[in-house]
Amino acid sequence: MKVREDLHLVHGSVKGPVRDENEDDYLLFEPEDEEEFRRRGRLLAIADGMGGEAGGGEASRVALRAFLAAWIDAGRARGEGEEEFFPLKTAFRRACEAVREESTNRPELLRMGCTLTAVELREGRILGIHVGDTRCLLSGPRGGRWLTELHADPDSPHRLTRAVGGGGGGEEPQTFRAELPEGSALLLLSDGLWNLAPEEAWLGPFVPNDVEGRARSLLASVHRGKGTDNATLIVAYRRPGGRADRIGEDVRILDPSKPGLPGFREPGLFVKWWPWFAVFGGLVLGLLALLFGRDS
């Protein structure tokens, strides 16, 4: 993927301490052709497999693959009279169809589903489409605001009222638009990340001194055991002056296909096994005390 210098892009995903696997997935896409990029911009998206349902991770992957392919085709086929959300809506419908088709063809995945939040970014303009409890946050020097609604049952927050698949049929998406001024950032967060703090805590001023470091710290907190869910993050920071100082692979936080978090050492042998050392040591000391007690 060609990565242009108008934004500082930071992204990553980690498995939480409870799940057996990471059911989140995400994508970043920029057209190679300069004219197409000028006309269409870039695409950012996150999908979070529905916890407790069969095939959540597969649903995320199927939905995003179908979404991207349909978004590319719809943008090229879009006529002058089509509304601005036409590519996103077309891609969303195709993602829903793909998940339904996959679950029909594979009975073990009958109720698979996921959230989906996708954004077109073009010259500081944001167009988005969304279902579920992933979040999209616009954050600047004066504070932030949520761009997406929470599609979850107030009495049972883990039960989604809208999703892609899942057997519920609640697929009516929210669309939204906003501007991304210079000096501001757009954040896409799965619920395993934004749930780490109250919603209001995310609405403070955006501090751009170390975008990558802050993102790395957030993901590391989940990776090391804080929270209960997987966590995925995409940050698009529009630096004043229109150019990023670092782009592309240099700011990649984590390759989801590889274990571990770059920059953070795994615990050493003693740290990992000290409880067993303690138990064994206690047994040895107890046995010695018993033997010496008999001798005396």
| DSSP 8-state symbol, 173 | -
Measured between alpha carbons, how far is 145 from 31 in angstroms, rounded to an integer? Answer: 29
Between the CA of residue 190 and those of 106, 151, 241, 250, what are the distances in Å?
26, 13, 30, 23
Query: Mean pLDDT throughout 199-204?
Result: 80
At residue 68, the pLDDT reads 95
CA angle (50, 54, 55) in 5-degree steps: 75
> Which of 132-136, 155-159, 210-214 tops mean pLDDT?
132-136
Query: Which residues, other chains included, contact 239 with Cβ-Cβ below 8 Å and sequence gap of 6+?
Result: 7, 8, 182, 183, 208, 245
pLDDT of residue 209: 72
pLDDT for the residue numbered 21: 78
Alpha helices in the chain (DSSP H): 34-40, 56-77, 86-105, 191-194, 211-223, 269-295
Burial group, residue 207, by CB count within 10 angstroms (0-12, 13-18, 19+): exposed
pLDDT of residue 204: 82
Stretch 68-87: mean pLDDT, rounded?
Answer: 82
- Kindly state the percentage of the chain with pLDDT values over 70: 72
The number of beta carbons lying within 10 Å of the beta carbon of residue 292 is 9
Lowest mean per-residue pLDDT among 61-75, 182-196, 251-265: 251-265
With a cut of 80, say whether residue 29 has pLDDT above it. Answer: yes
Count of other CB atoms within 10 angstroms of residue 169: 11
Q: Range with the lowest mean pLDDT among 11-25, 142-156, 184-198, 253-267?
A: 253-267
| Average confidence (pLDDT) over 197-212 | 78
Q: Does residue 184 or residue 19 have the better pLDDT?
A: 184
Band of the pLDDT at 181, cuts 50, 70, 90? Answer: very high
Separation of alpha carbons 200 and 38, rounded Å: 35
- Mean per-residue pLDDT, 253-267: 36
* Closest among 95, 143, 92 to 119, alpha carbons compared: 92
pTM of the predicted structure, to 2 decimals: 0.78
Supply the pLDDT for residue 286. 65
**Tokens at 177, concatenated:** 């638009």
